[in-house]
Amino acid sequence: MKRITKIAVSAVALAMPVALVLSGCSSDGGNGGGGDNGDDNTLTVWAWDPNFNIYAMKEAEKIYQKDHPDFKLDIVETPWDDLQTKLTTLAQSQSFGELPDIFLTQNNAFQKNVINYPDLFSGLGDSGIDFSEFPKAVADYSTVDGVNYGVPFDSGTAIGAYRTDVLAEAGYTVADFTDITWDDFLTKAKDVLAKTGKPLLSGQAGSSDMIMMMLQSAGASLFDNDGNPTIADNAALEQAISTYTELVKSGVFVEVNSWDEYIGTFVNGSVAGTINGVWIVGSIQSAADQSGNWAVTNLPKLDGVPGATNYSANGGSSWAVSSNANVELAEDFLKSTFAGSTELYDTILPKAGAVANWIPAGGSSVYAQPSDFFGGQAIFADVVKFGASVPSNNTGVYYYEARDAVSAAITKIIGGADPKDALAEAQSTVEFAMG
């Protein structure tokens, strides 16, 4: 009898902590998941910016609710870095039940995720969404093997934004910086720097955003169509890097070390312009004291590179429907809002500066409204026009690896290394990563 009690006691002692741990696991499960919560009218969404994409989602919810009163969104704020880590972890552990119905994905990372983890996504081929109503360059980011996996959301169309008062001080207008080449830009920007003491551009050292924009403006990329890296012996890339090096060395382009410093350079007025995706307008406008002194135009184009244009893109994101989603509802929701509602874009443009990729929205009168901050210029109408001319570029699966390698090469080149050697090294780094 005694022995039995002892065994029983030790069995309980044994089982207790294990049971506690296990119950800890099970009670947690299922909460984060979206599509499996049994409610047919609720969609879970992951997005990252309360003032931008989350705001847009909430407006989309209101619009969809007009026809579907029971419809609800459960939006979870998830910064992009976390979102990417979550996607990877969920795919790796095959816990697809934890996925939301819809999640936002950076355009540059879209192909990588679809190709590595096709199980995370639902193809939108049968959704009835007309993808020809989006610029091809934008829809291409989320298209893999001819299948669309994403509804483009914000546009990454690149703009050149300059301080008109500073330009005027040096005797220039924005027209002098429109439809020009980088050579022209250098000459004029050096002049502005000499006369006003203000550089026209700034950016993060070790980030190759500027190079990537230059490349895309010529329809060039770091990969050929078969996905092989083309970093060494890439004429457009060499031209872009030598232009960039010249910009930095002449002092026209100020390199800083972090994103907040970069924003700070033009908000505090030490730098009189910037070139980036149109979403940068939100940050520019935070400098209320500079209202009326800004103007937006297109980019300089690369000299001597075939196919070079004055248009490019940086960033942007698209909505993906997960494999765990209430696919029918999610597709219908996206189709009736982000791919079918002028009303939605009319609301989110002035409030959040979300420039539509959906071409029919561009005709709306809201886009033609002048912006006081930009001296009465109807910048969004211009940006939509720019967007239609952006050349497609091939991001591929190894986009981030290639971009990092090129960033490292640029740092070395600016430090004095031979461009050919540095780029050959970058090429072998990427080939190594792909091997």
Partner 1 sequence: MDRRLNLTGWGFLLPAALLIVIVSFVPMIQAFILSLQTGRGTRLTFADPLWYNYQRLLGDEIFKQTLLNTFIYLIIQVPIMLVLAMILASLLNNPRLKWKGFWRTAIFLPAAVSLVSYSLVFRTMFANDGFVNDAIGIFGVEPVNWLGEPNTARFVLILGLLWRWTGYNMIFFLAGLQNIDSSTIEAARIDGANAWQTFWRVTVPQLRPIIVLTAIMSTNGTLQLFDESWNLTKGGPAYASMTMSHYLYEISFQRNPNFGYGAALSYVILILVAILAFIQLKVGDKRD
Q: Applying CB under 8 A, which of residues 10, 173, 228, 286 lies at the interface with partner 1?
A: 10
Kindly state the smallest distance separating residue 422's Cβ from partner 1, in Å: 9
Kindly state the smallest distance separating residue 227's Cβ from partner 1, in Å: 12
Backbone angles phi, psi at 274, to 5 degrees: -160, 155
Kindly state the smallest distance separating residue 150's Cβ from partner 1, in Å: 18
Residues 16 to 45: which contact partner 1 by CB under 8 A? 16-18, 21
What one-letter code names the amino acid at 91? A
Instruction: State the DSSP code for 329.
Output: H
412 binds partner 1 (CB under 8 A): yes
Partner residues linked to 46 by β-bridges: 76, 103
Stretch that binds partner 1, among 8-16, 152-160, 336-344, 360-368 (CB under 8 A): 8-16
1 binds partner 1 (CB under 8 A): no
Between CA 231 and CA 377 the distance in angstroms is: 39
Of 23 and 85, the one with the shorter C-beta distance to partner 1 is 85
Q: Applying CB under 8 A, which of residues 76, 287, 359, 397 lies at the interface with partner 1?
A: 397
Residues 203 to 262: which contact partner 1 by CB under 8 A? 205-206, 255-258, 261
91 binds partner 1 (CB under 8 A): yes
Looking up tokens 């993060």, which residue turns up? 204
CB 159 within 8 A of CB 311: no
Stretch that binds partner 1, among 172-180, 212-220, 240-248, 427-435 (CB under 8 A): 427-435
Total residues contacting partner 1 by CB under 8 A comes to: 41
Q: Applying CB under 8 A, which of residues 41, 51, 116, 228 lies at the interface with partner 1?
A: 116
Q: Applying CB under 8 A, which of residues 42, 65, 84, 196 lies at the interface with partner 1?
A: 84
Instruction: State the DSSP code for 390.
Output: P
Stretch that binds partner 1, among 13-21, 41-49, 147-155, 375-383 (CB under 8 A): 13-21
Kindly state the smallest distance separating residue 10's Cβ from partner 1, in Å: 4
400 binds partner 1 (CB under 8 A): yes
Nearest to 48 by CA among 25, 80, 17, 22: 80
Q: Applying CB under 8 A, which of residues 32, 123, 264, 360 lies at the interface with partner 1?
A: 264
What one-letter code names the amino acid at 217? S
424 binds partner 1 (CB under 8 A): no
Between CA 379 and CA 376 the distance in angstroms is: 9
Kindly state the smallest distance separating residue 187's Cβ from partner 1, in Å: 26
Kindly state the smallest distance separating residue 136's Cβ from partner 1, in Å: 25
Of 174 and 271, the one with the shorter C-beta distance to partner 1 is 271
398 binds partner 1 (CB under 8 A): yes
Nearest to 333 by CA among 32, 34, 30: 34
Of 63 and 222, the one with the shorter C-beta distance to partner 1 is 222
Between CA 278 and CA 234 the distance in angstroms is: 27
Stretch that binds partner 1, among 9-17, 45-53, 69-77, 373-381 (CB under 8 A): 9-17
Of 10 and 291, the one with the shorter C-beta distance to partner 1 is 10
Instruction: Kindly write down the DSSP assignment for every residue of 146-212, as one continuous string.
Output: TEE-EEE-B--BEEEEEEHHHHHHTT--GGGGSS-BHHHHHHHHHHHHHHHS--SEEEETT--HHHH
CB 136 within 8 A of CB 392: yes
323 binds partner 1 (CB under 8 A): no
429 binds partner 1 (CB under 8 A): yes
Partner residues linked to 412 by β-bridges: none
Between CA 205 and CA 28 the distance in angstroms is: 42
What one-letter code names the amino acid at 367? Y
Q: Where are the alpha helices (DSSP H) in 361-418?
A: 379-388, 399-414
Residue 193 burial class via C-beta count within 10 angstroms: exposed 0-12, middle 13-18, buried 19 and up? middle
350 binds partner 1 (CB under 8 A): no
Between CA 330 and CA 123 the distance in angstroms is: 12
Conformational region of residue 303, where left means phi above 0, alpha means psi within -120 to 50, and beta covers everything else: beta
Q: How many CA atoms lie within 13 A of 338 on its CB side?
A: 28
Between CA 196 and CA 173 the distance in angstroms is: 14
Kindly state the smallest distance separating residue 401's Cβ from partner 1, in Å: 5
Kindly state the smallest distance separating residue 435's Cβ from partner 1, in Å: 8
Per CB under 8 A, residues contacting partner 1 are 6, 10, 13-14, 16-18, 21, 84-85, 88, 91-92, 94, 112, 116-117, 119, 205-206, 255-258, 261, 264, 397-398, 400-401, 404, 407-409, 411-412, 425, 429, 432-433, 435
